[in-house]
Amino acid sequence: MSAPLLSFRGVGYRYPGAAEPALQDVHLDIHPGEFCLLAGLSGHGKSTLLRAACALVPHFHGGTFAGSVTLAGLDTREHGPARLGEVAGVLFQDPETQLVMSTVRAELALGLESRGHGAATVARGVEEVALALGIDGLLDRSTHELSGGEQQRVALGAALVGRPQVVLLDEPTSQLDPVAGDELIGLLRRLNQEWEIAVVISEHRLERVLSAADRVIALERGRVACDGDPAAFLRWAAEAAPSLQTPAARLFELAGVPEVPAGVRQARSALRRAGLLGDPGTPASGSAGAGAAPPRTRPRGRRGHAPLALRVRGVWHELRDGPAILRGVDLAVAPGETIALMGRNGAGKSTLLRHAAGLLAPTRGRVESGGRVALLLQNPGDYFVHERAGEEAPAQALERAGLAWAAERNPRDLSGGERQRLALAIVTGGEEPALLALDEPTRGMDRAAKAALATELRARARAGTAVIVATHDPEFAAACAARAVLLADGRVIADGSSAELLAGGWYFATETARILGGAGGALLPEEGAEVLARRRPRAQDPLITGAPT
């Protein structure tokens, strides 16, 4: 095997003022052409490991550093981020902070120009990466006018344009719609296979990446707890860290299927061998209307003269000398209703939430609210104005967010998921709003934190607060919302129960729904296991005994 491209030797690190180390005795070798997935709970060291790989730790963050990291033969103690940037492409959780130029074209060209490449090479590099990431239509747009997902793709393009030897990616699909997310992973895999670019990617939605990865490195309290192929990781997670299981693995465990599928295709093949799934292209047995459990229902939005938390009437948002972002949107939200707002990047989700909160005024139409609208935007750092988390929000709100322990910490030193929870505590405070609107609130959150947030949002809804969440995460949408609204090109194109929208599709569907083909309206592993239980042969149980089918 070739010499390691990235090597950690006994690495330990503690952030300034932190009580516990972020990394402890890390030993790792990553070789050219490896595709490595970093797994672990929020705050257990994934982002810190990536920062150490490109020398931001300790050169930028300070703190106490031990051991050594070498990248392409360069010791990070002797070479800073600028020098290592010639070798490594980096994308972190907050892409908006990485964009420094006024236009997308200038942003993509910056890295090549700063290394002295000629005009022809720069133009070719910009064109190639723009086409690969599907952002060629954005080249002459201002970076300040982009949606969160568009910013993420542009920042990734800037990281890839110089053809680095390794790319270090922290939650690169967190703000991407399902299609763009799948295309990104496919592109990374192709670059990895054809050019032997090493990929080290941290991701909480493991199901998006697991089938593409050669190797999974799981961190637990800053230490390497598991290092193996996807199957070995899933077996370890089932016993040692259940919250890291993918929905497919959780579905199989609950159903008693003795396999650990890394993706939808493997899962469907395993179920087909067990006689629990029809042939490709055939209708799913147990689907609605065939003896399956009835689909979920949602509270009907109150109409007429009944009070509403929000009413949007024929709202347009048109840019001066630019496109229309919203096109005649109508939406009514009742008190206590939970809604998942979905759609591809640039569909208008964030713009609609800003109108709901009064941050934007429609060019046509009206927005009426039944009380205070609390809005949590995509970048939690925008809400931090103090040096202590305890000064940002009331103690009761910190306690509810599970952050009482962080009262003395600098908010900017928290993990991505912890910053998101702190920002939610800030916007809600001690007073319940009429409507709580959240824009991609799960960025940087592990599965356990997402489940806790979904539980909190449902509790707020039961208390009468309407909740509307813009998200690209179908699993989170299914867990927290009874109703789903799909936007496309600034218009509402679908509005119904979450089971209607998230079951049976190719992209806007949970992993359980894609495995089972939408049978029974099952969206989550627990529901899917019930569907499979109804399909078991009564004379024998091949799932448990392993008997042939």
pLDDT tens column, 124-167: 999 999 998 889 999 999 998 888 788 888 999 999 998 999 99
Residues in the chain: 549
Q: What is residue 280's predicted lDDT score, i.e. its pLDDT?
A: 62
Let me know: does 472 contact 464? Beta carbons within 8 Å.
no
Render pLDDT for 243-265 as a digit per residue (tens, 0 to 9): 999 999 999 999 999 999 999 99
Separation CA 396–CA 408 (nearest Å): 15
pTM assigned to the model: 0.85
CB hemisphere CA count around 127 (13 angstroms): 6
- pLDDT beyond 70 at 288: no
- pLDDT beyond 70 at 306: no
Separation CA 543–CA 549 (nearest Å): 10
Confidence of residue 396 (pLDDT cuts 50, 70, 90): confident
Separation CA 244–CA 437 (nearest Å): 27
Separation CA 147–CA 408 (nearest Å): 33
Confidence of residue 219 (pLDDT cuts 50, 70, 90): very high
Residue with tokens 């592109």: 187
When pLDDT is averaged across residues 56-66 and rounded to a whole number, the result is 94
Q: What is residue 2's predicted lDDT score, i.e. its pLDDT?
A: 76
Q: What is residue 483's predicted lDDT score, i.e. its pLDDT?
A: 97
Confidence of residue 355 (pLDDT cuts 50, 70, 90): very high
Let me know: does 313 contact 335? Beta carbons within 8 Å.
no
Contacts of 19 (CB under 8 A, 6+ apart): none
Q: What percent of the chain has pLDDT over 90?
A: 68
- pLDDT beyond 70 at 302: no
CA-CA-CA-CA dihedral for 306, 310, 312, 317, to nearest 10: 170
Report helix, strand or coil for 17: coil
Q: What angle do CA 103, 108, 109 make, to 5 degrees?
A: 95
Contacts of 27 (CB under 8 A, 6+ apart): 8, 9, 10, 11, 224
In Å, what is the CA distance from 414 to each residue of 16, 25, 35, 203?
12, 21, 27, 17
Q: What is residue 168's predicted lDDT score, i.e. its pLDDT?
A: 97
Average pLDDT taken over every residue of the chain = 89
Q: What is residue 418's predicted lDDT score, i.e. its pLDDT?
A: 84
Strand arrangement of the beta sheet that strand 23-30 belongs to: 23-30, 6-14, 64-71, 74-75
In Å, what is the CA distance from 326 to each residue of 312, 318, 346, 362, 373?
11, 7, 10, 9, 20
Let me know: does 478 contact 453? Beta carbons within 8 Å.
no
Q: What percent of the chain has pLDDT over 70?
A: 92
- pLDDT beyond 70 at 292: no
- pLDDT beyond 90 at 107: yes
**What is the separation of C-alpha 81 from the centre of its chain, rounded to a whole number of angstroms?**
26
Render pLDDT for 408-426 as a digit per residue (tens, 0 to 9): 989 988 877 788 889 999 9
- pLDDT beyond 80 at 301: no
Please state whether the peptide bond connecting residue 16 to the residue before it is cis, i.e. omega within 30 degrees of 0: no
- Residue-range domains of the chain with CATH: 258-296+526-545 (no CATH), 310-519 (3.40.50.300)
- pLDDT beyond 50 at 238: yes
Q: What is residue 305's predicted lDDT score, i.e. its pLDDT?
A: 58
Render pLDDT for 455-502 as a digit per residue (tens, 0 to 9): 989 999 999 999 999 999 999 999 999 999 999 999 999 999 998 899
Confidence of residue 281 (pLDDT cuts 50, 70, 90): low
Q: What is residue 402's predicted lDDT score, i.e. its pLDDT?
A: 86
CA-CA-CA-CA dihedral for 85, 91, 96, 97, to nearest 10: -40
Confidence of residue 537 (pLDDT cuts 50, 70, 90): low
Q: What share of the chain is helix, strand, coil (3-state, %, to 5)?
A: 40, 20, 40
- pLDDT beyond 60 at 299: no
Confidence of residue 291 (pLDDT cuts 50, 70, 90): very low
Confidence of residue 1 (pLDDT cuts 50, 70, 90): low
Strand intervals (E) in 77-197 = 88-91, 166-170
Question: 279 or 350, which is more confident?
Answer: 350
When pLDDT is averaged across residues 513-520 and rounded to a whole number, the result is 91
Confidence of residue 307 (pLDDT cuts 50, 70, 90): confident
Q: What is residue 546's predicted lDDT score, i.e. its pLDDT?
A: 42
- pLDDT beyond 70 at 43: yes
Q: What is residue 265's predicted lDDT score, i.e. its pLDDT?
A: 93
Let me know: does 4 contact 68? Beta carbons within 8 Å.
no
CB hemisphere CA count around 405 (13 angstroms): 6
The CA radius of gyration of the chain, in Å to the nearest whole number, is: 24
Q: What is residue 293's predicted lDDT score, i.e. its pLDDT?
A: 33
